[in-house]
C-alpha cells in the first residue's frame, strides 16, 4: 500500500455559529485522486484551505506530504500546489510574468523559472497569450494559467478547489484533459467539485460531503452500487401488452419490472450482458410487440447524491459567479 500523502483526521471548523466541518476524515494514498463531491456550502473549500495551511482547524489533525499542517506549514507549502475556486493571478502581469513570479517564489532559480515557464505555457496552450496581461484572458485561460502556476514547482501534492466551476462545457473538457495529463505524472490530487460528472471522470475515489460531514465514500462504481445497478427501460407503442413485455424481462433476469401505463414503458433492474437488448427485442418481436426504444440506464452520481442526502445536489449551475 502506498503511503498516505494527504490525511485529515476528524477535522472540525466553525465560523461563528456556522459549522463548516463537523469531523471530516479523509485519506489519499500517494499518486491517487480523491474527489470531494458536494453541493455549495458543504465545506469543501474549508477542507482544502485547511489542508493547504490557509485556515487553521478548530479540532482534528491534518498531514500533507508527511508534515502536520499546523506545526510545519512551511514544509507543507513547499510541497503543495493550490488552485483555488477563484483564479489567484495577478491581473496586471502577463501570463509569462505570473508564472515566472510564482516559480521564483517556489524558490526556482531565475534560469529554471524561465525554462519552467516556457514549458508550462506550452503545455497549457498559453504560449500565444504569454505576453498579454491576464486582465484580457478568458475564464478558461485564467483557469489554465492558474493551474499552470500551481504546478510551477511540480509539487507532489495538488489541491484543486472546483477547478471548472463557471466554465463553459468546452473549457471544462479542456481542463479535464489537462488535469488527467498532470496526474499521469504521479501527482497526488485532491479535487473538490460540485459536478458529479467531474468526480466520476477524474477521481479514483470519491468522498461525498454534505453539511460538513462525509456521508459516503468509495469508488464511483461502489457509490453507484449503493443505489442499485443498471436498469433497462423499454418503451413500447401505445396499446402494447405491457404485462407480456414484463414477463420477457423477468425471463431475461430482470427483477420486479415496473409498468408505466402512462408512458407505455416497462423498467426493471437487470444485469446487462452483451446483446441483451437485441435478445429482448427479438423475443418481443416473436410475440408481435414492436419495440420503440430500449435503454440501459446506469445510475448517475446525481442518483447517488439524492439517495444519500434525500435532496438534490444543487449543482450544474452555469451561472455560478466567476471570480470578481
Residues that bind another protein (CB under 8 A): 15, 49, 52-56, 74, 77-80, 82, 84, 86-93, 97, 101-109, 112-113, 115-116, 119, 123, 133, 149, 151-154, 181-182, 184-187, 323
Q: How far apart are CA 188 and CA 151, in angstroms?
A: 12
Nearer to another protein, 115 or 311 (CB): 115
Closest CB to another protein among residues 140, 229: 140
For another protein, the closer of residues 12 and 112 by Cβ is 112
Cell numbers at residue 266, please? 416497462
Least Cβ distance, residue 144 to another protein (angstroms): 14
Neighbours of 296 (CB within 10 A): 12
User: Shortest distance, CB of residue 112 to another protein, whole angstroms?
Assistant: 4
3-class DSSP state of 222: helix
Please write down the long-range contacts of 122-131, taking CB distance under 8 Å and 24 or more positions apart: 123/148, 123/178, 123/181, 124/148, 124/178, 126/95, 129/95, 130/94, 130/95, 130/96, 131/94, 131/95, 131/96
CB of 115 to another protein, least distance (A): 4
Q: Are residues 120 and 148 in contact, defined by beta-carbon separation less than 8 angstroms? A: yes
Rounded to a whole number of angstroms, the minimum distance from the CB of residue 118 to another protein is 9
Residue 1 near residue 29 (C-beta atoms within 8 A): yes
Q: What is the C-alpha separation between 251 and 282, in angstroms, rounded?
A: 13
- For residue 281 the three cell numbers come to 427485442
Q: Which is nearer to another protein, 56 or 311 (CB)?
A: 56
Return the number of the residue (153 or 270) whose C-beta is nearest another protein. Answer: 153
The distance of closest approach from Cβ of residue 52 to another protein in the complex, given in angstroms and rounded to an integer, is 5
| Cβ closest to another protein, residue 169 vs residue 186 | 186
Q: Are 160 and 190 in contact (CB under 8 A)?
A: yes
Are the C-beta atoms of 81 and 153 separated by less than 8 Å?
yes
Q: Please answer whether residues 55 and 46 qualify as being in contact, where contact means their C-beta atoms are separated by less than 8 angstroms.
A: yes
Q: Which is nearer to another protein, 87 or 207 (CB)?
A: 87
CA distance linking residue 213 with residue 23, whole number of Å: 7
Shortest CB 18 distance to another protein, Å: 12
Q: Minimal distance in Å, beta carbon 21 to another protein?
A: 13
Name the minimum Å distance from CB 324 to another protein. Answer: 8
Quick one: 22 or 247, whose CB is closer to another protein? 22
Say if CB 210 and CB 179 are below 8 A apart. no
Find cell 441483451 and name the residue: 276
Amino acid at each position: 500500500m502506498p503511503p498516505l500523502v494527504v490525511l485529515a483526521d476528524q477535522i472540525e471548523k466553525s465560523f461563528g455559529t456556522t459549522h463548516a466541518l463537523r469531523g471530516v476524515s479523509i485519506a489519499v494514498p500517494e499518486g491517487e485522486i480523491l474527489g470531494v463531491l458536494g453541493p455549495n456550502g458543504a465545506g469543501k473549500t474549508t477542507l482544502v484551505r485547511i489542508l493547504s495551511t490557509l485556515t487553521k482547524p478548530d479540532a482534528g489533525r491534518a498531514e500533507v506530504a508527511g508534515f502536520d499542517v499546523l506545526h510545519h506549514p512551511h514544509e507543507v507549502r513547499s510541497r503543495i500546489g493550490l488552485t483555488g475556486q477563484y483564479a489567484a493571478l495577478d491581473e496586471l502581469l502577463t501570463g509569462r510574468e505570473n508564472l515566472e513570479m510564482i516559480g521564483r517564489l517556489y524558490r526556482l532559480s531565475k534560469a529554471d523559472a524561465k525554462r519552467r515557464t516556457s514549458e508550462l505555457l506550452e503545455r497549457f496552450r498559453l504560449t500565444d497569450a504569454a505576453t498579454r496581461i491576464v486582465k484580457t484572458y478568458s475564464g478558461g485561460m485564467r483557469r489554465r494559467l492558474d493551474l499552470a502556476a500551481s504546478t510551477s514547482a511540480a509539487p507532489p501534492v495538488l489541491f484543486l478547489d472546483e477547478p471548472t466551476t463557471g466554465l463553459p462545457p468546452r473549457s471544462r473538457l479542456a481542463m479535464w484533459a489537462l488535469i488527467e495529463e498532470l496526474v499521469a505524472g504521479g501527482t497526488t490530487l485532491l479535487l473538490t467539485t460540485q459536478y458529479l460528472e467531474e468526480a466520476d471522470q477524474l477521481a479514483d475515489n470519491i468522498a461525498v460531503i454534505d453539511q460538513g460531514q462525509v456521508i459516503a465514500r468509495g469508488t464511483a462504481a461502489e457509490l453507484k452500487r449503493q443505489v442499485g445497478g443498471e436498469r433497462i427501460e423499454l418503451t413500447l407503442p401505445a396499446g402494447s401488452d405491457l404485462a407480456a413485455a414484463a414477463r420477457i424481462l423477468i425471463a431475461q433476469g430482470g427483477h420486479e419490472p415496473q409498468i408505466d401505463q402512462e408512458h407505455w414503458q416497462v423498467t426493471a433492474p437487470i444485469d446487462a450482458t452483451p446483446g441483451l437488448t437485441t435478445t429482448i427485442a427479438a423475443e418481443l418481436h416473436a410475440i408481435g410487440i414492436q419495440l420503440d426504444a430500449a435503454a440501459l440506464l446506469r445510475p448517475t452520481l446525481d442518483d447517488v447524491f439524492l439517495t444519500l442526502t434525500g435532496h438534490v445536489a444543487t449543482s450544474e449551475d452555469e451561472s455560478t459567479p466567476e471570480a470578481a
